[in-house]
Amino acid sequence: MDNPKYKELKGKVVGITGGGGILCSTLAHAFANQGAKVCVMDLNREAAQTVSEKINNAGGSAMCIKVDVLDRESLEEAKKAIAERFGPCDILINGAGGNHPLGTTSNPYLTKEDLLETAKDFKTFFDLDTEGIQFVFNLNFIGTLLPTQVFSKDMVGREGCNVLNISSMNAFTPLTKIPAYSGAKAAISNFTQWLAVHFSKVEIRVNALAPGFFLTDQNRSLLTNPEGGLTPRGTIIIDQTPMGRFGEPEDLVGTTLWLCSEQSKFVTGIVVPIDGGFSAFSGV
């Protein structure tokens, strides 16, 4: 933490929702390594506390807060606590998100035989639960919009402030089986562009990352077997990824720091794929 590459990030106040997760906790450490003051926000307070304690024990500056990104009051309380300790947020990372089984089909393609399936957990497109789909949309899109409304208001007119959203490479081309998640991430990409234009006169830049396939607590069992091999879906993904591997959390760091630093001060409204070439590959 003594030799930051992006020296202009030193002292910046960075709020990260979903900060207790694998990917966003890595980003939290990366900002701390640049001398930023990091607030780790997560619905799981224990996970957020673990991340903040590691940063502080390593000589960085961090705090943790339990936050529900779908509850404005929770977000307002978090903003107040951050301001009292560190000052107003300069950078917001909207990292909270996820999928739900009730918004997921059992098979990638519909067949006539699927309509005869009687297994309780089997779901075709016609069985998708509207509550599950709404949960996914709310968590990903509303869970990005609400924190932005709360935290970015204090950024208006201040130099060096920006918002970084987390979209997905399936916002470009939707994946099979997960229509709710794909649609919600596409909405985030669109919102990123809209907000970048809307905020362009008040010194706030807005961009997004579009990660490809990274192993997280949410998808590890879907992509890998307990013994370490790939599931059939995991095999398809690696075969469609030109670089031939899953992403590692550290693969997000360089782009994130660049987008949030003054070295990209004329960059706003972009969605950057970090996917090992997945979105560029036609399959042939």
3-class secondary-structure state, position 62: strand
User: How many domains does the structure of the chain reveal?
Assistant: 1
Q: Is residue 278 part of a domain?
A: no
Has residue 209 got a pLDDT over 90? yes
217-234: average pLDDT: 77
pLDDT tens for each residue of 40-75 = 999 999 999 999 999 999 999 999 999 999 999 999
Could you give the CA distance from residue 161 to residue 15 in angstroms, rounded to a whole number?
Answer: 12
In a domain, 70, yes or no: yes
Assess if residue 21 is contained within a domain: yes
- Domain-embedded: residue 51: yes
Q: Is residue 225 part of a domain?
A: no
Instruction: Point out which residues pair with 14 in neighbouring strands.
Output: 38, 91
109 is catalytic: no
Q: Percentage of the chain surpassing pLDDT 70?
A: 98
Q: Please identify which of the residues 181, 199, 213, 214 carries the catalytic annotation.
A: 181
Torsion angle in degrees (nearest 10) through CA of 16, 20, 26, 28: 40
Average pLDDT, the chain: 94
Is 108 inside any structural domain?
no
Kindly state whether residue 87 falls inside one of the protein's structural domains: yes
pLDDT digits (tens, 9 = 90+) for 90-138: 999 999 999 999 999 999 999 999 999 999 899 999 999 999 999 999 9
Instruction: Write the CATH number for 160.
Output: 3.40.50.720
Q: Which among 89, 95, 97 is positioned nearest to 162, based on CA atoms?
A: 89
Half-sphere exposure of 215 (CA within 13 A, CB side): 16
Q: Are 170 and 99 in contact (CB under 8 A)?
A: no
Q: What is the pLDDT averaged over residues 231-246?
A: 89
Residue 107 lies in a domain: no
> Which domain, by its residues, includes 96?
7-101+134-212+248-273
